[in-house]
Structure 1
Amino acid sequence: MTTITTAAALLADIAVEADRTDAVQAFVKQETILVEIVTTDGLRGTGYSYTIGTGGSSVLALLNDHLLPLLVGEDARNVEALWQRLFSATRATTTGAITSLALAAVDTALWDLRCRRAGEPLWRLAGGYRRQVPVYDTEGGWLHLTTDDLVKSALAAQKAGWAGVKIKVGKPNPAEDAERLRAVREAVGASLHIMTDANQSQSASSALRLARALEPYDPYWLEEPLPADDLSGHARLATATCIPIAVGESMYSLTQFRTYLESGAASVVQVDAARVGGITPWLKVAHLAESHNVQVCPHFLMELHVSLAAAVPNGAFVEYIPQLRAVTRTELAVHHGMAVAPDTPGIGIDWDMDAIDNRRVA
């Protein structure tokens, strides 16, 4: 039998491994929401989502008060049906971050169960396109770091055979961003991809000036230059610059991605499994992007996204930001610049529940 007998959630705070700043905020901790689902056949599935400092208790309350009670007695194999049921039960709060994060914690647990029951790893059961995906580094590109720091990190990534590095932009003067990018480009040459990320910090006019300042140094993309809900602004900017525009980490539904893609406002899709509501909608976004001939380069959550990016033909890169090493028994494997999806049954995360309990806040 595959009937769900219990569904429980907890909230744990995981400290960041390094100072992380961008143009609008600092990543001070990961509020991690875990959901464990147990079925009558004795299997356990664990899923999760996150925030970067606020809102975790609200996600937990939504799960405990409204969503988890709906799972008991249901067949865990019916992942799509359960996602739709829980989504429908939260109509008053959709589409929004809190609801999507709560749905994601449940959905990833259900996929963990699905994979364990099938005896297959996530990358294969979700599509099985390949097992390895190129990786790029973000941890060495935060906004507070000096230009020398950026150059050293980029050279280290290049020496290790990684595909690229990300540099945060959004300094008060775009000339400063351009100078930092120039120094990195001159150090690594033309072969290493340099991604740039403005974290929604720009206005329509400043985004255009920033893009023009960065263009000579051939950025692989300019990420979230404008507020994520400024669809027309991103579309206009995409036609005004030769730099590909990357968006998606701050989108919470399939429809938002559809409108961006149809408007030509996204050349790279950075869908985040936690923020879009789980693996089930993540795969829909990835296939939608494929129909527009657009790459998927998921945001953060490398321990989960490596398997999803490997599952689909347009999964182009995995973003390297280590965050779960304090609460897992294994970590993401990277060999010769390629992130390797775990081949064990489940979503591929080997949680250390004692370490999580030590960081549990609710």
Structure 2
Amino acid sequence: MKARTVEVGLYRVPSRHVQENAIARFTHYEWVLVKLTFNGGVEGVGFTYTQGRGGGAVFSLLSEYWAKELLTSEELDPLTLNRKARSMTYSYGLEGVSRIAYAALDIALWDAEARAQDVPLYRLLGGPRNPKVRAYRSAIDLNFTVQELVEDVKKFKEMGFRAFKIKVGKPELEEDLSRIRAVREVIGKDPLMVDANRGWSFTEALRRGRAMEDLVYWLEEPIEAELLDEYKELRGKLRVPIAAGESLYSSYEQTKLITEGCVDVVQLDVLRSGGVTEWMRYAQLADSLGLPVAPHFGEEISVQVLSAVRNAMFLEHLPGSNLNDSGLLRKGLRFEEGYALPPDGPGHGLEFDWDRLKSYQVKYEKVT
């Protein structure tokens, strides 16, 4: 297929509540959407995000540089773009911001390919009919009081969720343990994951991890993301499974995370790792080594790829921050008794409310 137009928009969307983890505070998310229109009328929509900062750089890469490159290509599909991506980014590299931007194009191309074949994306990727993916309740909730935290977890338990994640990283270990115990009283033996968001030193992670290892299902991002050798050492010293990967933005680090025994659960973010094409490669690599995948955030696209891999573990449901609960989608994924069900329409199945999106629009460019 040959692209006729490329539309790029940057939207700054408030989160549903003020969010705090061990290292940061969030009030907005930046979403960058790409719409590709091909000769013959087929369209594909892709998207990517930042946590409130850096969206302008993503927008500029897509609208000022990559859009023109796409329009000169006679044939455009996800694998062709993947082969060209490194030459397209020769001057600044396909890492970090570039990889986030590339994800939006990759998803738009997969969406268009599936729409052209009139099949859901998960089917095009090899998934079964009528899939469902086990999901867990997640929130950026370190600023919640214990009572607020307990009430929120109760709400999701009543909705049928049977797995939960909370933030840790309070100044004192006992504060974290009190929150964990309070939630444990509500959920019983259901899986409870905790996320430290890279907030600890190796020594502190070891100390707190040992105190938590009989209480939690996994310990997520206890130390800085790129300290992969330390992750491997920490994994050898703790009995609790280690999960990480969301904060890696280079192919070298993402590969090392999987192949060198750094984690028990691979959490690469579909939108930060470069979209569907790249994420599927990493998931298959993890599968070959017996590792499960539980991607960070991006549940609207994560449900598609998780439906198409055999080592899928969990989908992260983050209603305080996601697109699905933002009011910006006319159609999205559904949840039933703690499972996520992808849309059954062609492509990724998401239907954006473009009129509502305009109220959050920061920049827009149409390239022909």
> TM above 0.5, one fold?
yes
- DSSP-derived class of the 2:262 partner: coil
| Residue 330 of structure 2: aligned partner | 329
How do residues 1-150 of structure 1 correspond to structure 2 at under 5 angstroms? 2-75=1-74, 77-129=76-128, 131-139=131-139, 142-150=141-149
How do residues 1-362 of structure 1 correspond to structure 2 at under 5 angstroms? 2-75=1-74, 77-129=76-128, 131-139=131-139, 142-190=141-189, 192-217=190-215, 219-322=216-319, 323-324=322-323, 325-362=326-363
CA–CA distance in 2 between the matches of 1:215 and 1:181? 11
Code of the residue aligned with 2:329 in structure 1: it is T
- DSSP-derived class of the 1:346 partner: coil
- DSSP-derived class of the 1:38 partner: strand
Change (3 A) 1:342 1:294: same
What is the number of residues matched between the two proteins? 358
Tell which deviates more after alignment, 14-23 or 121-130.
Answer: 121-130
| Residue 366 of structure 2: aligned partner | none
Deviations 1:274-330 (A, max 9, x none): 101111101111111111111111111111111111111111111111322321112
Tell which deviates more after alignment, 58-67 or 145-154.
Answer: 145-154
Aligned 8 A contact 1:67 1:86 in 2: no
Aligned 8 A contact 2:32 2:104 in 1: yes
Return 5+ residue gaps in structure 1 as ranges: none
Percent of matched pairs sharing the same residue: 36
Using the size of structure 1 for normalisation, the TM-score is 0.95
CA–CA distance in 1 between the matches of 2:155 and 2:74? 48
In terms of fraction of residues, the more strand-rich structure is 2
Deviations 1:131-174 (A, max 9, x none): 100111113x6101111222222233333321311110111112
Code of the residue aligned with 1:350 in structure 2: it is E
CA–CA distance in 2 between the matches of 1:262 and 1:128? 25
CA–CA distance in 2 between the matches of 1:296 and 1:343? 23
- DSSP-derived class of the 1:71 partner: helix
In terms of fraction of residues, the more helix-rich structure is 1
- DSSP-derived class of the 2:272 partner: helix
CA–CA distance in 1 between the matches of 2:65 and 2:188? 53
Change (3 A) 1:114 1:201: same
Code of the residue aligned with 2:327 in structure 1: it is A
Using the size of structure 2 for normalisation, the TM-score is 0.93
State the 4+ residue runs in structure 1 displaced beyond 6 angstroms: none
